[in-house]
Amino acid sequence: MVERPVVFSGMQPSGDLHLGNLLGALRPWVLEQHLFHNYFCVVDLHALTMPWDPAALTAKTRELAALYIASGIDPQRSTLLVQSHVPEHAELAWVLGCLTPMGWLERMTQYKDKSRRSEAERIGSGLFTYPVLMAADILLYQTDFVPVGEDQRQHLELTRNLAVRFNHLLGETFKVPEVRIGSMGSGSKIMSLDDPDRKMSKSEESDQGVIALLDPPDRIRAKFRRAKTDSGTVVELASPSPGVANLLEIYRALSGCGEEELRATFEGAGYGRLKDLVADRAIAAIEPIQARFQELTSDPATLDLILAQGAAQAREVAARTMVEVRRRVGLLPSPGA
């Protein structure tokens, strides 16, 4: 059997999973999951890098795992894991951190943005070393591809640089992953409905612009109705404003329709009709996810079992990598490994 390339990706269990996550990440993962050996991770340790509420973290971790499955990630086909269930992630992060020049981390724009927004005394150093933990996530599994959004490009470059540095200083140990930003398959970038110049984001202050996957259908429709368009009244496909372009993109991504069909459906149509048809599509896509999610949450024992199996599968691979890392670094072999 030919080994399939390894894919690793993850999301933080903070905020509400939304339509942008579904169309930009989850759905492309699902569509291509048969082509790869996949690891899809709930990165709970990363969620500790900003202030958090412990009870909410527990609930959100299960919620995100259930939403992965409800959205089509098949635990028989892909390894679904909670990051902290595999202690090798934190262990490798320590070793890699000792090989990461401070300057590399100081250049990370996400750190600069996030830390600028809080007082220095209140930021944990985990926010600074966050990309090292992400590198550990990826390198533990000898990953080939990491499907993430543009905002993660710098972290991926750092991961590659760290792999090269480790291999150079201590001997060939890690596969250097490829950067594969944006589209695996049909991943799209979805913007906020009330501020179409900004990405639909889990950390948005107002949730008006964000279609959460667990929003009730009437809420979804109401949010689309309030979506920002422009001072016009009908769709002109040649020059849509950012708000209209975003609605069209959501429709295109949800329906899989081509340019021709888009034109036939919307050229000259009123904004009200555009919003209604997009809302119909979004609700039709989200309702089955919600139904499956309810099933999964009504049976927590099964979900926990899936997560335990995922952790066991992942650990086997992660532990193998750590044996090699320990040897290269000069740490005594773990007794029992």
CB of 89 to ligand TRP, least distance (A): 9
The verdict on whether 199 is a catalytic residue reads yes
CB of 155 to ligand TRP, least distance (A): 6
Question: 87 phi and psi, to 5 degrees?
Answer: -60, -15
CA 13 to each of CA 57, 203, 292, 324: distance values in angstroms, whole numbers, following the listed order: 7, 12, 19, 30
3-state secondary structure of 187: coil
CB of 52 to ligand TRP, least distance (A): 14
> Of 25 and 277, which CB lies nearer to ligand TRP in the complex structure?
25
- The contact set with ligand TRP (CB under 6 A) reads 8-12, 43, 46, 134, 137-138, 146, 148, 152, 155
| Token pair listed for 18 | 């939304």
> Of 66 and 156, which CB lies nearer to ligand TRP in the complex structure?
156
Cβ within 8 Å of residue 174, ≥6 positions away: 139, 142, 163, 166, 167, 321
The verdict on whether 112 is a catalytic residue reads no
Q: CB of 124 within 8 A of CB of 152?
A: no
Taking Cα atoms as reference points, which of 122, 127, 116, 68 lies closest to residue 306?
68
Q: CB of 25 within 8 A of CB of 256?
A: no
CB of 10 to ligand TRP, least distance (A): 4
Q: CB of 186 within 8 A of CB of 256?
A: yes
> Of 127 and 285, which CB lies nearer to ligand TRP in the complex structure?
127
| Token pair listed for 208 | 């008006």
> Of 22 and 146, which CB lies nearer to ligand TRP in the complex structure?
146
CB of 34 to ligand TRP, least distance (A): 20
The verdict on whether 175 is a catalytic residue reads no
Angle (CA) 231 236 237, round 5°:
130
Taking Cα atoms as reference points, which of 289, 312, 283, 196 lies closest to residue 246?
196
| Token pair listed for 229 | 């368009």
| Token pair listed for 153 | 């490009």
Mutual orientation of helices 300-329 and 54-70 as an angle, nearest 10°? 100
Catalytic residue among 60, 199, 223, 228: 199
CB of 38 to ligand TRP, least distance (A): 12
> Of 190 and 278, which CB lies nearer to ligand TRP in the complex structure?
190
> Of 75 and 131, which CB lies nearer to ligand TRP in the complex structure?
131
Which residues are the active-site residues?
A: 114, 199, 202
